[in-house]
Amino acid sequence: MLCPFLLFAPKQVFNYDFGSITTESPVIKSVYGVLKEAEHRSTFYIPYWNVPLLRAVVPRQRQFAADMAVIDATLDDLIRNARETRQEDDFEALQARDYSQVKDPSLLRFLVDMRGEDATDKQLRDDLMTMLIAGHETTAAVLTWALFSVAQAPAVEAKLLAEIDAAVGDRTPGAGTAWQILGLRI
């Protein structure tokens, strides 16, 4: 089962559609491969993955390297795109910005615009990797950003509230209620 973060947050955080709702995404598949390897490494007594020759011949280590290459290439592309379209401004202007009118209203866009040249590609990549790999732990931050983005767009907010009212009505919402609300699936 996919983490809700990986289903709902990619556009708001990364400005990237992983396509993971309708098809198997190579990036999401790689994320789960990396997580599986991290779990393996945390329970294995001998760190054979630190031996260069074994990294080249052990199938799971070759797969780990391939998974990391997919993730790295995707994050590098996202960072390069965000840097090329950077709109640096002071903190107050960034907070007051109407993100409903911004072509790329993602958290990555905000980080690049706010940090400017102070943020290295490595720092941004590490931030994105943390959100991608440990997304289930950063859901609160992403939901805060998503709600902020909705609040910046009154028409979107009104449409979403109407969809929620129609789906919930007078009853207590259940786990499946979110799937009935199209605005939550976009």
Q: Is 142 helix (H, G, I), strand (E, B) or coil?
A: helix
Look at the pTM and tell me if it is higher than 0.85: no
Q: What is the pLDDT of residues 51-75, one digit of tens each?
A: 999 999 999 999 999 999 999 999 9
State the pLDDT at residue 110: 77
